[in-house]
Structure 1
Amino acid sequence: MTFVNQRQQMVAEQLETRHIDDPRVLDAMAAVPREQFVQLAQQQSAYNDSALPLEHHQTISQPYTVAFMAQALRLKSEDVVLEIGTGSGYGAAVLSRLAKRVDTIERIPELASQARERLKQLGYSNVRVFVGDGTSGLPEHAPYDAICVTAAGQTLPPAYAAQLKPGGRILIPLVNWSDAQTMTLFTKTGTELKKRELGSFRFVPLIGAYAVSPADR
Structure 2
Amino acid sequence: MTIDYSHAREMMVEQQVRPWDVLDARVLDTLATLPREAFVPEQHRALAYADIEIPLGHGQRMMKPVVEGRTLQGLKVQAHEDVLEIGTGSGYFSACLGALAREVVSLEIHPQLAAAARARLDAQGLGSNIRIETADALHLAADRQFDVVCVTGAVDTLPAALLAWVRPGGRLFVVQGRSPVMEAVIHHHDVNGSRVESLFETDLPYLQGAEPAPQFVF
**Superposition TM-score, scaled by structure 1 size:** 0.91
Contact 2:90 2:116 in 1 (8 A): yes
Match of 2:20 among 18, 28, 50: 18
- Rounded Cα–Cα distance in structure 2 between residues aligned with 1:62 and 1:179: 15
Aligned residue runs from structure 1 range 60-71, under 5 A: 60-71=62-73
Q: 1:77 to 1:21 in 2, by over 3 A?
A: same
* Most deviating of 81-90 and 1-10: 1-10
Whether 1:195 aligns to 2:196 is yes
Question: Equivalent residue of 2:49, what SS?
Answer: coil
Aligned residue runs from structure 1 range 97-112, under 5 A: 97-112=99-114
Q: 1:212 to 1:17 in 2, by over 3 A?
A: closer
Please identify which structure carries the higher strand content.
2
- Rounded Cα–Cα distance in structure 1 between residues aligned with 2:211 and 2:63: 22
Residue matched to 1:93: 95
CA apart distance, 1:32: 1.1
Whether 1:130 aligns to 2:133 is yes
- Rounded Cα–Cα distance in structure 1 between residues aligned with 2:4 and 2:52: 19
Cα RMSD for the two superposed structures = 1.9
Whether 1:204 aligns to 2:205 is yes
- Rounded Cα–Cα distance in structure 1 between residues aligned with 2:128 and 2:163: 27
Contact 1:137 1:160 in 2 (8 A): no
- Rounded Cα–Cα distance in structure 2 between residues aligned with 1:78 and 1:59: 29
Match of 1:72 among 68, 71, 74: 74
Q: 1:114 to 1:174 in 2, by over 3 A?
A: same
* Most deviating of 131-140 and 193-202: 131-140
- Rounded Cα–Cα distance in structure 2 between residues aligned with 1:57 and 1:23: 33
**Superposition TM-score, scaled by structure 2 size:** 0.91
Moved over 6 A (4+): none
CA apart distance, 1:137: 5.5
CA apart distance, 1:212: 5.6
Could you tell me which runs of 5 or more consecutive residues in structure 1 were left unpaired when the two chains were aligned: none
Could you tell me which runs of 5 or more consecutive residues in structure 2 were left unpaired when the two chains were aligned: none
Q: Tell me the percent identity.
A: 34
Q: 1:137 to 1:8 in 2, by over 3 A?
A: farther
Match of 1:36 among 29, 35, 38: 38
Residue matched to 1:167: 169
Residue matched to 2:183: 182
